[in-house]
Structure formats: C-alpha cells, structure tokens
C-alpha cells in the first residue's frame, strides 16, 4: 500500500491557528515591543503583535544615551559623538594629538611603558609647573604659552621612559625652553618676553635661582628640578 503521509489534524488553516492560540495552555500572552499591547503569539519567539509594529520598530532610529565626560587632555566636560561614545577620551583633535604623538615617539625609541593620560598627570601635580614652580591655569589651551603640557623629566632622546614616573606638568613655554636637556633652567621669569632676555623671556639657571636679586634666596614659588 502506498504511503500517503500523516493524517490531517485540522480541516483548515483557520482551525489550526485557533487551536494553536486557544487549544493549548502552553502559549501565553505577550506585550508588543512597539505598541505595548497584549497579544497571543503564533510562535514562542514572536515579539510584535503585527507586521505594522515590526516595520515601525525597524524604521525607528536607534536611541543612544550619551553621557558627558571630562576630556583626558584639558579636563573640560564634553558630550562625545554617538558614533564614538564608547571610545571618546578627548574633546578635540587639539587635545588628542599630543597624547598619540608621545606614544608614537616612545615606541620609535623603544621607550614605551604605559599610556600616560595628561589629565592624570596634571591632577597628580596639582596643576603646578615642575620647572618654574608657578601654577598652571587649567582654562588655558594651545597655543597659549602658559597652557599645561606633559614634560619628560629625562627626555626620550636621552634614554627616558614614557611612564608616569618620568612625566611632569609644565608650561608650554617652560617645556619648549627646556627642550631635550636633562640639566635645565630651574626658573623662568615671566611668561612674556621682557627686556632682559630673548624672545622666550629671561631665564635663571640653577645658581641664579638660589641667589635671586642678590638676596641669597630663591624666587617666589621656585622649586627644585630633581
């Protein structure tokens, strides 16, 4: 005898759907994710009550909650772009470039130890320049000569490492005068050029800093450069 398949359980598709909806107690009502209304699903993984709600959910833009954060370079609060909200550390390319330039230079000299975040260094040093001893205004930014920069105490070209232990806060003016020297001036008198020096201002060396103005004491706010 020829096999004719399994016998039919329902006379029509309407009866089959009615049985699936109401004939068993295994199917429970769900809430539509789009309109939040109760419906009896055909399948266990059904999420929407109708095709209209399914299409409306697919066409709706994705809602991304972006929280303001502090820039790792200047400390100013900013709202990152939703496309890069998870990885954004800096408010602008001006704050971003020095961070990656230090990493690039350290890797070229095989001196990379860890990624140094500028804001961490500034807050650790209490926003004070380790070269001149004056406070650094956190509201100033490049190209102001008094803005905050990260300085390597032992320069990378002299064998220094790119690590927190070798990084200090410094004015951009003081950092540019120090350049790649290990023994650098301990005091920069004034952030603006005066009549007693070149275009960067008058500089006191270590011996001059000890006998400032002939009085045998260092200038106000002077610090040791060790």
What residues does each domain of the chain span?
13-21+29-59, 99-214
SS3 at position 182: coil
Q: Are strands 69-70 and 77-78 parallel, antiparallel or unpaired?
A: antiparallel
> pLDDT 10s per residue in the chain (226 long)?
565 666 777 788 877 776 766 555 456 788 888 888 888 787 777 888 888 888 888 776 656 667 888 888 888 888 887 777 767 888 888 888 888 888 888 888 888 888 899 999 999 999 999 888 899 988 888 888 899 999 998 888 888 899 999 999 999 998 888 888 876 555 443 433 333 333 344 444 443 333 333 333 333 344 433 4
Q: CATH for 99-214?
A: 3.30.40
Side-chain half-sphere CA neighbours of 135 within 13 A: 5
Calpha distance 119→172 (Å, rounded): 15
Calpha distance 222→209 (Å, rounded): 8
Calpha distance 43→27 (Å, rounded): 8
- Measured in whole angstroms, the distance separating CA 28 from the mean position of its chain's CA atoms is 47
Picking from 187, 195, 191, 197, the residue whose alpha carbon sits closest to that of residue 217 is 187
Side-chain half-sphere CA neighbours of 171 within 13 A: 22
Q: How far is CA 91 from CA 12, 117, 185, in A?
A: 64, 14, 33
Give the predicted TM-score (pTM) of the model. Answer: 0.53
Q: What angle do CA 127, 114, 117 make, to 5 degrees?
A: 30
Contacts of 168 (CB under 8 A, 6+ apart): 121, 125, 130, 150, 151, 153
């Amino acid at each position: 005898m020829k096999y004719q398949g399994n016998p039919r359980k329902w006379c029509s598709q309407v009866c089959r759907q009615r049985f699936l909806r109401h004939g068993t107690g295994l199917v429970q009502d769900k809430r539509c994710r789009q309109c939040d209304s109760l419906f009896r699903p055909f399948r266990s993984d059904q999420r929407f009550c109708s095709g209209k709600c399914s299409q409306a959910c697919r066409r709706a833009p994705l809602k991304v909650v972006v929280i303001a954060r502090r820039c790792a370079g200047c400390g100013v609060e900013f709202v990152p772009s939703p496309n890069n909200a998870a990885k954004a550390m800096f408010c602008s390319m001006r704050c971003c470039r020095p961070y990656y330039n230090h990493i690039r230079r350290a890797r070229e000299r095989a001196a990379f130890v860890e990624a140094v975040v500028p804001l961490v260094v500034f807050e650790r040093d209490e926003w004070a320049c380790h070269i001149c001893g004056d406070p650094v205004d956190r509201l100033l930014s490049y190209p102001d000569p008094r803005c905050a920069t990260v300085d390597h105490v032992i320069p990378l070209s002299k064998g220094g490492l790119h690590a927190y232990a070798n990084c200090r806060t410094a004015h951009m003016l003081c950092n540019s005068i120090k350049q790649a020297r290990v023994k650098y001036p301990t005091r920069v008198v004034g952030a603006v050029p005066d009549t007693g020096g070149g275009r960067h201002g008058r500089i006191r060396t270590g011996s001059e800093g000890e006998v400032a103005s002939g009085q045998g004491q260092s200038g106000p706010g002077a610090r040791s450069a060790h």
